[in-house]
Chain A
Amino acid sequence: MTQVDRYLETVGMFLPERQKNDILSELSDNIRSRIEDREAELGRQLTDIELQDILKDYGHPMSVAGRYQPETGGLMFGKQLIGPALFSIYVRVLGISLLVALAVQVVLTIALELPTDGVFARLMVHVFMQSAAVTLVFVLIQRMAQEHPDQWGWLTGHADVVTRTASLPKISRLESGLQIVLLAIFIAITYQFLSVPDAGIGPFKLAPIWYALYVPFILSMVAGIVQSAINLARPNWVRFHAAAQVGFELFSLTMIGILLAAGVWVTLAVPAEATVAAEQKLVEIVAYMNQTFFYGLLISVAISLYQLVQNVRRYRRLSR
């Protein structure tokens, strides 16, 4: 795949599906015409750097695609606030976040057996808060991009990051470093909670299944740190990264399967001085917690499956 193909592929990710092929064909022809003109001028093929310069001149793929976005009626106020380059991403993120808001409300209502007559009001408040938060974040990004184009301008197509998408794929060192730090924190938390079997957390205890999985959890996180350290040293080992991710997702799915099969994730450690009424209340809370864990694990299965498919596709694409 050439730099131009990769660039076009990235632009395509942000284009409306209906017009995608048409716009990409035209853009492809324009870019290639420009390359041919430059090559004719120089009397030789362009170097990778010269090719990158042409793509940089076109702008960041997100910004290029943003200019083709259709008018979106009532949401047009957002285009003024957020700018055309980021607007399509804003609409997508808003849509996804609203779906998540809906899903969270449904799950909470079922899991906690909340009264259904208040669902609509709760949903409206949730939707309003979430829309406001997403809009605010995008407005801030746009303002930052305007005020500091040297650092943030790449988001709106003013700076020099085309290379990042057009050059050979690499795993960001920042991503690898961050992953090492996060996994170290998770190992510390896991050790804190699972190293002493039957340790209570207030009036609650983790079910035995968590302690049974303590060693595999720790080993998988250590493996994650090793993989991140390798990618920190060798950022261009993208196939290794993709293969490792496939392995981790398969491991996660196995662990989630075992956890789901256990059926109980939190148990009660009733203090001796607790009254019958208090104990009854705690039993109810434990039941809610277990239901929440159940739905949480189901969501984790869906996320892991999605990630697995993505990583398998990525691995296959990189192997071509």
Chain B
Amino acid sequence: MTTDLLENLRLELRRGCLVLAVLAQLRTEHYGYALRKALAERGLEIDENTLYPLLRRLETQGLLDSEWREEDKRNKRFYRVSAQGEAILTQLLEEWEGINASLRWIAQGRPEVKQPKGVQ
């Protein structure tokens, strides 16, 4: 029961982050399989059955552009974040930074100390 609950909450937490990760990763053009590998290499495993429908949804919402091109003798669909997607991604990343800072403050009981630029 606790495992199920944890799993559900974990999935809920990941859901929003995945959109951010996909949009951010698609600042560089990728086709579906390469995108999945790139995300996995950076520690974010994502199931194919979640990723491909998500790509289509983001494209329908105008946040991604796509085009079919031949590569390695096979047609592949390449995705890249659109201008509208980039604008939204920037705002979402700011939002995410804010939430992250607040969460740290709430969980650790003190505000995050920002290092001034140039200090290691």
The one of A25, A34, A157 in contact with B33, judged by C-beta atoms closer than 8 angstroms, is A34
Instruction: Say whether B48 contacts A58, CB under 8 Å.
Output: yes
Docked complex Cα distance between A194 and B52 (Å): 60
B28 within 8 A of A: no
Which B residues are CB-close (under 8 A) to A26? 32, 52, 77
Which A residues are CB-close (under 8 A) to B36? 30
A310 within 8 A of B: no
Instruction: Say whether B48 contacts A68, CB under 8 Å.
Output: no
Which A residues are CB-close (under 8 A) to B31? 29
Instruction: Say whether B53 contacts A29, CB under 8 Å.
Output: no
B119 to chain A, nearest CB (A): 43
Instruction: Say whether A29 contacts B52, CB under 8 Å.
Output: no
Docked complex Cα distance between A27 and B76 (Å): 10
B-side interface size class: 10 to 19
A64 within 8 A of B: yes
A-side interface size class: 10 to 19
Instruction: Say whether B52 contacts A27, CB under 8 Å.
Output: yes
Docked complex Cα distance between A25 and B67 (Å): 13
The total of Cβ contacts below 8 Å across the A-B interface reads 38
User: Interface code B64-96, partner A: CB below 8 Å = 1, 0 otherwise?
Assistant: 000010000011110000000000000000000
Instruction: Say whether B33 contacts A29, CB under 8 Å.
Output: yes
The one of B34, B53, B76 in contact with A68, judged by C-beta atoms closer than 8 angstroms, is B53
Q: By DSSP majority rule, is chain B's interface helix, strand, loop, or mixed?
A: helix
Instruction: Say whether A29 contacts B74, CB under 8 Å.
Output: yes
Instruction: Say whether A67 contacts B33, CB under 8 Å.
Output: no
Instruction: Say whether A32 contacts B74, CB under 8 Å.
Output: yes
Nearest B residue to A26 via CB reads B77
Instruction: Say whether B53 contacts A30, CB under 8 Å.
Output: no
Nearest A residue to B54 via CB reads A67
Which A residues are CB-close (under 8 A) to B75? 25, 29
Which B residues are CB-close (under 8 A) to A68? 52-53, 56
Q: With A67-B53, A68-B53, A68-B56 given, is the CB distance from A30 to B74 under 8 Å?
A: no
The one of B32, B50, B56, B68 in contact with A30, judged by C-beta atoms closer than 8 angstroms, is B32
B115 within 8 A of A: no
A172 within 8 A of B: no
Which A residues are CB-close (under 8 A) to B3? none
Q: Can you name 8 A-B pairs with beta carbons within 8 Å?
A: A26-B52, A29-B33, A58-B49, A63-B49, A64-B49, A67-B52, A67-B53, A68-B52
A contact residues vs B (CB 8 Å cutoff): 23, 25-27, 29-30, 32-34, 58-59, 63-64, 67-68, 157
B contact residues vs A (CB 8 Å cutoff): 31-34, 36, 48-50, 52-53, 56, 68, 74-77
**Other A-B pairs, 13, CB within 8 Å; known A26-B52, A58-B49, A67-B52:** A23-B52, A23-B56, A26-B77, A27-B52, A29-B31, A30-B36, A30-B48, A33-B34, A58-B48, A59-B49, A64-B49, A67-B53, A68-B53
